[in-house]
Amino acid sequence: MLRLVISAAPSLLPLPFEDYMRYHFTKVGDQTRFMMGRYIERGRALDLPVRALESLLAKLPELATVAG
Residue 37 has pLDDT above 90, yes or no: yes
User: Do 67 and 29 touch, CB atoms closer than 8 A?
Assistant: no
Residue 1 has pLDDT above 90, yes or no: no
Which of 36-43's residues contact partners 24+ apart within 8 Å by CB, and which partners? 36/60
Average pLDDT on 20-49 reads 90
State pLDDT tens for residues 38-54.
999 999 999 999 999 99
pTM above 0.85, yes or no: no
Residue ranges per domain, the chain?
2-67
User: Do 47 and 55 touch, CB atoms closer than 8 A?
Assistant: no
Residue 64 has pLDDT above 70, yes or no: no
